[in-house]
Amino acid sequence: MEQVKVLSTWFSPFGRRILIALEEIGVKYEYQEEDLSNKSELLLQMNPVHKKIPVLVHNDQPICESLIILQYIDETWDSKQVSPFDRALARFWADFADKQFFDAGFRIVKSKDEAQEQAKREMLENLQFLEGALKEMSVSGSLPFFGGKDFGFLDIVLAPYVSWFHIFETIGNFKIPFETEYPLLDAWGKRCMERESVKKILPSSDRLLERVFQIRKKFVVD
């Protein structure tokens, strides 16, 4: 009997994507919620280098770093045929999302004044890049997802960020012009939110917002 266990925390976009991937392909797993201020022995033992969630433990073998875990899940349980070029393109944008996109988003959360304004400008520019990538990968919106007709690797990477858009707007006190500037991303985000896996795994935006305000308090006094 194979054992699949996920160590994560409910608000982490990195952790949520692992659960969405497992739900999508119907792999049964055990879930362990981690308190990041009091990490379990198992987490410290399974990810001694970074001591971060998410970790996937498959038959006692730990796999760390969410993008690497998603690739492992694809290689282990998913048989979708993706060309080397399309795979490289999806990995490029996943890397962009976690470095440049998340970085600007997190700076909106943890800064104010000019630093926050700068992060907001970068966020809008990053969304423009993602809109362009989606245009290319969905053949100008004729296919529903970054994965083309399938909800694929990059869709899973980005889906948890959809629930953060509203958080960035609320904390940054601005409106992201989705309908006019990023129409493909807008439609894609709505499509993601309708998927059973995503509805099941992502937290409500109220609960998330409350948590992110707590995180913000550690960095700035408003």
Strand pairing class (4-8; 30-33): parallel
Q: Give the Cα separation of 147 and 166 in Å (integer).
A: 24
CB 191 within 8 A of CB 144: yes
Regarding 36 and contact with ligand GS8 (CB under 6 A), the answer is yes
**CB of residue 57 vs ligand GS8: minimum separation in angstroms?**
14
Of residues 46, 54, 108, 188, which one binds ligand GS8 by CB under 6 A? 54
- SS3 (DSSP) at 148: strand
The region, left, alpha or beta by phi > 0 then psi within -120 to 50, assigned to residue 53 is beta
Regarding 116 and contact with ligand GS8 (CB under 6 A), the answer is no
Q: Is the peptide bond before 177 cis (omega within 30 degrees of 0)?
A: no
Nearer to ligand GS8, 2 or 35 (CB): 35
Nearer to ligand GS8, 94 or 192 (CB): 94
Q: How buried is 26 (Cβ within 10 angstroms: 0-12 exposed, 13-18 middle, 19+ buried)?
A: exposed
Regarding 12 and contact with ligand GS8 (CB under 6 A), the answer is yes
Regarding 168 and contact with ligand GS8 (CB under 6 A), the answer is no
- CA dihedral over 137, 147, 15, 209, signed as positive or negative: positive
Piece of the chain touching ligand GS8 by CB under 6 A; list 62-70, 137-145, 158-166, 183-191? 62-70
Q: Looking at beta carbons, which residue is closest to ligand GS8?
A: 52
Amino acid 51 reads K
Binding mask 174-203 for ligand GS8 (x = CB under 6 A): ------------------------------
Regarding 172 and contact with ligand GS8 (CB under 6 A), the answer is no
> Which residues lie near ligand GS8 (CB under 6 A)?
12, 14, 36, 51-54, 65-67, 98
